[in-house]
Amino acid sequence: MSIQTSLKGRLRNTNLPKKDVLLPLFEAVVNSIHSIDERIEKQKDINLENTYIKIRVIRSSQLTIDGSKSEICGFSITDNGIGFNEENYNSFQTLDSDYKISKGCKGVGRLLWLKAFRSVSVESIYLKNEDLYSKRDFSFNAENGLYDEKLYSSQKSIVETTISLNDALNEYKSNIPQQIKKIGQQLLEHCLWYFLRDGSAPIITIEDGKEIVNVNSEYDSYMFNESKSETLEIKNKVFEITHVKFKINSNSSNTISYCAANRLVKSESIKLPGLFGTLNDDNGDFFYMCFVCSQYLTENVNTERLDFNIAQNDNGLFSDTDITFDEIRKVVISKISAYLDPYLTNNKVLGKKRIEDFVDKSAPKYKSILNHISEENKIVDPSISDKNLELYLHKQQTAFEESLLSEGHELMKPSIMDDEVSYNEKLNNYLSKVIDLKKSDLANYVAHRKVIIDLLEKAIEKQSNGKYVKEDVIHKLIMPMIQTSHTVSLDDCNLWLLDERLAFHNYLASDTAISSMGITDSESTKEPDLLALNIYDNPLLVNEGTKLPLASITVVEFKRPMRSDVGGEGEDKNPIEQALGYLEKIRKGKVKTSNGRSIPESQSVPGYCYVLCDLNDKMIERCKMFSLTETYDKMGYFGFNQNYNAYIEVFSFDRLLNSAKERNRAFFDKLGLPT
């Protein structure tokens, strides 16, 4: 029974990604190499030294505006291989031909030609017998298949074949590299195995007008030193891997290349501890490539030679006989690791030291989890930036937390096979990890405090414009503005800068109108205008305590660093009067808890007024007028005012900064943070 084949249908079902636009050219070059190999086998007077493959670039005839070269639209490939004799021509006419199956050929290379080019033309002079040369010409396209076939005696006594790939399709044309040096590099990478094999490859050149690239010379400049091969077995299938060192160039990368029938099919980057790009030995810097070849790979390459028909991992069926790609990769990686180990030792040492130094000096919060990071994951690129290293360690910590969470859930449902001793052992091991994690949390919190103190120190310095920052900068460092305890998390506040006790509160408001706070019935028109308009002078209010009738109100008032009019007449310029005024307004409005419960005798609720400002002569005079006592460091004043039933403390920014540093110094020292 005869079954017809539709060429258009086959082309429609043939895959050629745009990025692989040069694959048809590579297929033609490989065909030329095979043709030359065949001629060498049959004619003893021919060897690789007197064979050649000449690639000529065909550019569009359209002129460019700037006088540069026009775009590439095709290629012609000329070789002095065996040519299109009867056997090769018959094979060419048969799709999926098995004529060269021993060389791993699929018989579909010509489909890739027509996938990217409108037509192909062939001129081939071959030796018909000892004295007779014949010439065969034909064309090939998707519409007509083979056409314009001619066969006649050749006047030239030369064996030579030229295949022209004509008129690249628009969707592929734009992806063709315009520099022949780049085309040569990609061709070399694709056909590299033919250069590595015994005897190497024929002389291959690429011509673009007067510009010529010799691919063999590129290979010589590419090669670092001799390659090394070894064989291995996976489920009784033999694989050969070849280790190659190459000189550094702009396209350098450390890769594994999987080959079928001595042709590159696909490559992937190598991930190994300590492998971070450039390697070096006594001869200098190099990058590494590994080539994996096997009859098993050749038998399982897909039609377009872009991948393999091999399962990535074990699906449970035929696992004893079928080989997965993960299995191949795992074994190959182990061989690569052994081969590269002498070159990676120093990188591994430097990578670990990079993490240790960073944790010791900049990120002690990760110190307690280092023991729970695998030795392999402790090896990082020594040149990694602080930002990326911080992100990397954060991912490691997150992974540790997730595993700990999973382990905790498992511990909550002990197996019936666990006896008391084994369960206690698991529990103790789990708890030791939890303790380490909590150490990390505490270290993170302390490190956060150090950052906030450093920011405060910068904020109170004179700026480059000769001025000082406004109150809102200081305000935001301590607590976000226009927020209440209902809308902001305590973790987002830094009230500890002022007083550690401020963390314990029932209601907290920052830069919010008194009438809208919910802890007082005050509706004075004056008070909301003042709070709303003077947003930088508006207070941060804390109503402490939930046990009635015990309560206290704390008012904190900020002023701009080095503000010259602080301490003048009136509430607007006198922060002590301003703070006490806020306190009285809230008291007169009858103080309530945040949930609306009245506080008996709210008029006598004790108050705490903190004023943060730099001390000038006027402010010092105001402090003395309120009978406040100077602090031992002469950077602040404090005292109790009986008339207002309020404790008052006025301190400068320097005192705030020094006090925060002193209270946290022991923690910073423990973590090794500079103070």
pLDDT digits (tens, 9 = 90+) for 537-595: 344 455 554 444 456 777 888 777 777 666 666 666 788 888 888 777 777 766 555 55
Burial of 353-370, coded b for 16+ CB within 10 Å and e otherwise, reads ebbeebbeebbbbbbbbe
Which amino acid type is present at position 72?
Answer: I
DSSP state of 631: P
Question: Residue 345: pLDDT above 90?
Answer: no
512 pLDDT band (50/70/90 cuts)? low
Question: Residue 673: pLDDT above 50?
Answer: yes
**Cis peptide bond prior to 549, omega within 30° of 0:** yes
Look at residues 660, 230, 302, 658 and name the one whose alpha carbon lies nearest to residue 449: 660
Alpha helix positions (H), 362-419: 386-411
- pLDDT tens for 2-41 read 455 677 777 887 888 888 899 999 999 989 998 998 898 8
Look at residues 593, 598, 509 and name the one whose alpha carbon lies nearest to residue 555: 509
406 pLDDT band (50/70/90 cuts)? confident
Q: Report which of residues 449 and 135 the model is more confident about.
A: 135
Residue 414 main-chain phi, psi, to 5 deg: -60, 145
Length of the chain: 675
- pLDDT tens for 265-288 read 888 888 888 888 788 887 788 888
pLDDT averaged over the chain? Answer: 77
Alpha helix positions (H), 139-179: 170-173
Distance CA 271, CA 266 (A): 16
Mean pLDDT for the stretch of residues 657-666:
78
Q: Are 125 and 133 in contact (CB under 8 A)?
A: yes
Sheet holding 636-641, edge to edge: 483-484, 507-510, 540-544, 552-558, 607-612, 646-651, 636-641, 629-630
Domain extents in the chain = 7-219, 223-340, 362-446, 471-665
**Maximum average pLDDT range among 190-194, 317-321, 414-418, 620-624:** 620-624
pLDDT at 432: 67
Q: Which residues pair with 257 in a beta bridge?
A: 267, 291
Distance CA 440, CA 422 (A): 28
Which amino acid type is present at position 166?
Answer: N
pLDDT at 525: 41
- pLDDT tens for 201-247 read 899 999 999 999 999 988 888 776 677 889 989 998 999 998 988 87
pLDDT at 166: 94
- pLDDT tens for 177-203 read 999 999 998 898 888 878 877 778 899
Q: Report which of residues 41 and 136 the model is more confident about.
A: 136
Question: Residue 528: pLDDT above 50?
Answer: no
Distance CA 565, CA 549 (A): 39
Mean pLDDT for the stretch of residues 105-129:
84
Burial of 571-594, coded b for 16+ CB within 10 Å and e otherwise, reads bebbbbbbbbbbbebbbebebbbb
pLDDT at 202: 92
pLDDT at 58: 94
Could you give the count of Cα atoms lying within 13 Å of 270 in the half-sphere of its Cβ?
29
Could you please state the CATH topology (level 3) that the domain comprising 7-219 is classified under.
Answer: Heat Shock Protein 90 (3.30.565)
Mean pLDDT for the stretch of residues 251-262:
79
Distance CA 106, CA 564 (A): 88
Residue 17 main-chain phi, psi, to 5 deg: -60, 150
657 pLDDT band (50/70/90 cuts)? confident
530 pLDDT band (50/70/90 cuts)? very low
Mean pLDDT for the stretch of residues 56-78:
85
Mean pLDDT for the stretch of residues 436-451:
66
Neighbours of 160 (CB within 10 A): 18
80 pLDDT band (50/70/90 cuts)? very high
Q: Report which of residues 258 and 653 the model is more confident about.
A: 258
Neighbours of 218 (CB within 10 A): 19
Question: Residue 641: pLDDT above 80?
Answer: yes
pLDDT at 532: 23
Which helix H or strand E contains 665, and what residues bound it?
helix 653-671
Could you give the count of Cα atoms lying within 13 Å of 221 in the half-sphere of its Cβ?
10
DSSP state of 535: T
pLDDT at 596: 55
Distance CA 261, CA 106 (A): 10
- pLDDT tens for 291-302 read 898 999 988 888
150-155 contacts, C-beta under 8 A, 24 or more apart: 154/125
Question: Residue 317: pLDDT above 60?
Answer: no
Token look-up 């005839």 returns 61
pLDDT cut 70: percent of the chain above it:
69
Question: Residue 433: pLDDT above 70?
Answer: no
